């Protein structure tokens, strides 16, 4: 008697980290676009960088429950967000130096 072969096992679900990816995107946008333009870096660059920092922290916190998935993107977005804030404040200090 002929039996058909068993079905292949289903693929495991993808376990990405949306917060880490959002942090990385906000960090890149803030660093590459809005941190170098003098007026936009305070009004747009710093809020985008704060979103990158917040999403990076949440992404790192949720990566622990996902066995480390997304910790790289969350950490990178967090660092890029902090770097954007430092560059934006440095640009304002350099441009509007009163001494």
- pLDDT tens over the chain, length 99 residues: 788 888 888 887 767 788 999 999 999 999 998 888 878 888 888 999 999 999 999 998 888 776 667 788 889 999 999 999 999 988 888 888 855
Query: Looking at residue 96, what is its pLDDT?
Result: 80
pLDDT at 98: 59
Residue 27's region, left for phi above 0, alpha for psi from -120 to 50, else beta, is alpha
pLDDT score recorded for residue 68: 65
- The pLDDT value recorded for residue 97 is 80
Query: What's the predicted TM-score (pTM) here?
Result: 0.80
Quote the CA–CA distance of 61 and 19 in Å, as a whole number.
10
What pLDDT sits at residue 99?
56
Q: How many helices (H) and strands (E) does the chain have?
A: 4, 0
End-to-end, the C-alpha distance of the chain in Å comes to 93
């Amino acid at each position: 008697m002929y039996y058909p072969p068993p079905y292949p096992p289903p693929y495991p679900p993808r376990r990405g980290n949306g917060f880490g990816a959002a942090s990385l995107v906000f960090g890149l946008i803030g660093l590459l676009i809005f941190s170098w333009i003098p007026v936009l870096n305070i009004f747009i660059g710093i809020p985008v960088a704060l979103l990158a920092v917040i999403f990076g922290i949440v992404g790192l916190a949720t990566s622990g429950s996902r066995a480390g998935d997304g910790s790289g993107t969350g950490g990178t977005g967090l660092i890029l967000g902090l770097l954007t804030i430092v560059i934006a404040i440095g640009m304002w200090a350099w441009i509007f130096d009163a001494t």
